[in-house]
Structures are given as structure tokens and as C-alpha cells.
Structure 1
Amino acid sequence: MATEKVRLAAEKATLLATLYGRALDARSPRPILDDRLAAATVARIDHDFRQTGMDRRNAGSVALRARFLDDWAREFLSRHAEATVLHLGCGLDTRVYRLAPPPGVDWYDVDYPDVIDLRRRLYPEEHRSIGTSVTDLGWLDQVPADKPVLVVAEGLFYYLDPPGGRALVRAIVDRFPGGQFVFDAVSPFGLRLQAINKPLKKAEATMRWGIDGPDDLLSISPKLRLVTALSAFDLPGYGRLSASHRISAGIAKVVPRLARAAVFYRLEF
């Protein structure tokens, strides 16, 4: 089988680390996500994944994050057989294949043009994809606005500049009749911790948008309502992660600023 050479930089390069993390999890004796397509895809890419900074110790947290957002997405789609999904900053995530949405769901993978081109070479294109920066809002004109929308943004929002990120959220809220956003975010304190994030340093990427709690998000539009805000340290299954992750979770229970450093949000409108 032919392999694909991949040369990506900055935040685009982080998609290789997350893909590798899901692959390592799938190869483990007790996988959390069991994303076998991710493992097969890594085998098709000509790249030294050891240089991504991702290892087996951190792979579990990547898989747990993906599984949690998958569960929120499934919950929404179980209640909306007719819906639009905007998978923003999709990278090489196999979420559409993991969820296998029903025929009434219009799924759009959205990422930079070179990332979408790479996806098309690696995956069967059974749904729609749009090659663009998510903050160039003209791409929304390609998406009909006649159904409830689910916006999934895993590992994305903190790479956006704050005005661009807020404008993106506002544009989606104003365009669609209703829906949900499910995503992970970091706080301003979380931005300061990026100096110890090995995959981030390896990719020479920079996180820019620190969200200072739910009120920071709700101020984007009066239509937004908070459904859930959950610390990353409180995710179901966190106890299955490495000893260092479990120690961090213990510290977070007594240090609120650390507990709020990484949060999973579910908003509706």
C-alpha cells in the first residue's frame, strides 16, 4: 500500500500528534477509544511519529477527550435525526466514521485546504468537506441553514485568535435555527501551561484563546445558554490514565485554578 508523505507546521502539525495518540490507544491492551482506523491511517503515512512528542503515557488522555466529545455528539444526534454537523478543525480525526451518523445528517468536515486534501487521499469521502480557515466566515455560505446544527470543535478553539473565534461562534449562532456547540477549551492560566506541553512544543504551535469561564462564552451572543462545563480532570474514565495524570487530577481538586485550566463545554442556542 502506498504511503503519504506529510509536511505540516504549527497548529496543523498537532493533528499528527492527536492521530498518533488515538493509534497508540487502539494498539494498547485496554483501549479507551479503540480507533482502529486511526491506527491503520498512521501505517499509511510516511512520517516519524515519534517526533510528534506523543507517547503511550499521553495517548490515553487524547483518546479520553475524543470519546467524551463523541458521547456528547451521539446524544445530540440521537435526538436530531435530521441535523447538520460542523466538524471544525477536523484534522485527520475519524469521528464521522466512529459515529456513523444517520442518513438525515449532513456532515461537514472543515479544515485548511491542505488538510482536507490529505483527508481525501487517506479516507473515503462519504460526506462533505470544506477546505478553508474556519475564521474566514464565507465558507458558511456553502452550508444550508435549514436544520439544527451540532458544532464539534476538538482541539481547535485555543489556536484561534480571540476576536476571530468569537466572530465564528456568533456567525454560527446567527445563521442556524438552533443547536449545540461541544468543544474543549483552556483558560488564561491554561495558556500559560502550554510551555510544558510536549506535542505543542514539537509542532512549534501556539495557543492564543484562553476562555475565562462560561460567562466569557455567553457574552458572545445573548442566544447562547450553558448546558455543561466540566473540568478535564473530572472526565469519566480519568482514573484509567497514567499516574502523572491521576496525580494532576488530585492536585486539581484542591487548586481551583488548575481545575479550570482545561474545560469541556456544551452550549446550546
Structure 2
Amino acid sequence: MSPEKVHLTEEKATLLATLYGRALDARSPHPILGDRLAAETIERIDHDFGSTGLDAKMARAVALRARLVDRWAGEFLAARPDATVLHLGCGLDTRVHRMDPPPSVRWYDVDYPEVVELRRRLFPERPGHTLIGTSVTDLGWLEQVPADAPALVVAEGLFYYLDPVQGPALVRAIVDRFPGGAFVFDALSPLGLRLQRLNRPVRKAGATMHWAIDGPAELLAIHPGLRCLEALSAFDIDGFNRLSATHRAVGTIIKLVPALRRTAVFYRLEF
């Protein structure tokens, strides 16, 4: 089988960096996430992954963040095995294969059509798993998803790329459509958004971020049905000691400055 040639630009291109990060972690002697399918997948893609700007040190941070989102999502599904999962901006994330939810869970991976077509060629099919090729902010796609069960919305690495008007509109539409559920995602503060010019993979992809979220209050103002269960700084994630010495040193300094500590936050909301 010939390797897949991939031509993605701007925010779509960042999915190659995160895939590469998970693959590098899986290949390491002591993996954090252990995403073997990611490691297998990069062997089937014709791309210079070194050009993503991501290296083995950064890969540990990618793996730690993915592990946190997996854990939060897994806790929700353990309590609600009848849930519908909306994995928004799924990219080439192997989350549905990593987590291997029970057959009672309906899982929807949603991303741009060209990304979804690439997923079809790279990843095996599985029962209960549906791909939807669309921009997540074109809200008509929600009509393809039955609204008879609670929804778990997973949006790792997505919200800051959305328009600051269309992003909240997406959240409201989901809360209004489903009979309860949860959101699990990461977000950047206004300062965090400005600092992304220092993020090498984002810079190399030519991606632009738009939507900053300055704390839980801004999220709860989107819809009266939202409640914040947790807001965890990216610098407080369990396993921080597994990062490189440089990352640990920088993180230690950042945690002493509240504004910096809040630049990147993982949120768990319920509705």
C-alpha cells in the first residue's frame, strides 16, 4: 500500500504535529499515553514530520494532555454508558480506538471533509463509530446526530481556532439539543492566545487562533444551563514531573504568576 500524501494548511496542519507527538510518545521507552495506533499511522503517511516543529520533549506534553482528556471522558462514559460522544475537531486523533468505548456508546468524529476522508483511509472502521465531514460551526451537522441521549463533547485543541461568535453559538446549540451531558476541552486566555506566536508547531503550520476564554465565568455566560465542574491549569496536570527538565523549570516559574498559570486551562463543564 502506497503511503498517503497529505497536504493540509493552517489549523488543519496542526493535526499532523499532535499525531506525531503521540507517536513519539508511543515509541519512547516509558510512554505516557502509549498510543500505538498513532505510531503505526505515521508510517503510512508520506510527510516530513520533522517539519512540524515538534520534538520528543514536546511530545511528552502532548501525551499528558491527551491522557487527561481521555481520563475525564472515560469517567463520564463509565457513569453514562448510554451516552453519545461528539468528538469535535477530531483530526487524526485515535481517541475512539484508544478508549475503546462499549457498544452502547454512539461515537461521532467531526472534522473538515478532507480530514474525515483521510481518517477513512488511515483508520479501521468500528461499530458505533460515525464520521461527519463538515466545519463544526456549520450547525446543520447536528441534525445527523440523534438527540435522545446525554452528550459528551470532547474538543481537545479546537476551541481557540473557532470564531469568538461561532464558538459560543456551537456550545449553545449543543446544550439546547441534548438532554444533558458534559464538555471536556482546553482553552487559552487572551494572554495565552497572544503567546501562541511562540508555539513552534502552530507557527510552522501558519495557524491563527481567534477565541480566547478568560476563566469559567465567560463560559457559564454562554448558556444558563452550563455548570463548571473543573478548571485545571495545563501546568497542574498530573504527571508534570514526566516532562523535560526545561519544561519543568519553565512550568515552575509560570505557576508562580497567576496570569501565566491561567494561560492554558482544561475545562470540564456539565449541562
1:136-155 map, 5 Å: 136-155=138-157
Identity of aligned residues (%): 71
Tell me the distance in 1 between the aligned counterparts of 2:198 and 2:36. 29
Q: Deviations over 1:218-249 (max 9, x none)?
A: 00000000000000000000111012211122
Say yes or no: does 1:119 pair with 2:138: no
Q: CA deviation at 1:253?
A: 2.2
Match of 2:9 in 1: 9
Letter in 1 for 2:140: G
SS in 1 for 2:252: helix
Instruction: Give the alignment partner of residue 210 of structure 2, picking from 190, 208, 211.
Output: 208
Q: Please, what TM-score do these two structures have when normalized by structure 2?
A: 0.98
Q: CA deviation at 1:119?
A: 0.0
Q: CA deviation at 1:81?
A: 1.2
Match of 1:132 in 2: 134
Match of 1:61 in 2: 61
Match of 2:31 in 1: 31
Q: Deviations over 1:20-47 (max 9, x none)?
A: 0000000111110010000000000000
Letter in 2 for 1:197: N
Letter in 2 for 1:221: H
1:83-232 map, 5 Å: 83-126=83-126, 127-232=129-234
**Moved beyond 2 Å, runs of 4+:** none
Q: CA deviation at 1:2?
A: 2.2
Tell me the distance in 1 between the aligned counterparts of 2:160 and 2:125. 28
SS in 2 for 1:227: strand
Tell me the distance in 2 between the aligned counterparts of 1:194 and 1:100. 33
Letter in 1 for 2:50: R
Tell me the distance in 2 between the aligned counterparts of 1:248 and 1:141. 45
SS in 2 for 1:202: helix
Match of 1:52 in 2: 52
Q: Please, what TM-score do these two structures have when normalized by structure 1?
A: 0.99
Tell me the distance in 1 between the aligned counterparts of 2:259 and 2:247. 16
Q: CA deviation at 1:55?
A: 0.5
Tell me the distance in 1 between the aligned counterparts of 2:187 and 2:2. 37
Letter in 1 for 2:99: L
Tell me the distance in 1 between the aligned counterparts of 2:119 and 2:145. 20
Letter in 2 for 1:11: E
Number of residue equivalences: 269
Letter in 1 for 2:38: A
Letter in 1 for 2:106: D
> What stretches of structure 1 of length at least 5 have no aligned partner?
none
Tell me the distance in 2 between the aligned counterparts of 1:159 and 1:255. 25
1:68-83 map, 5 Å: 68-83=68-83
Tell me the distance in 2 between the aligned counterparts of 1:40 and 1:173. 36
Say yes or no: does 1:254 pair with 2:256: yes
Q: CA deviation at 1:175?
A: 0.3
Q: CA deviation at 1:138?
A: 0.3
Q: CA deviation at 1:252?
A: 2.0
Tell me the distance in 2 between the aligned counterparts of 1:167 and 1:239. 38
Letter in 1 for 2:131: S
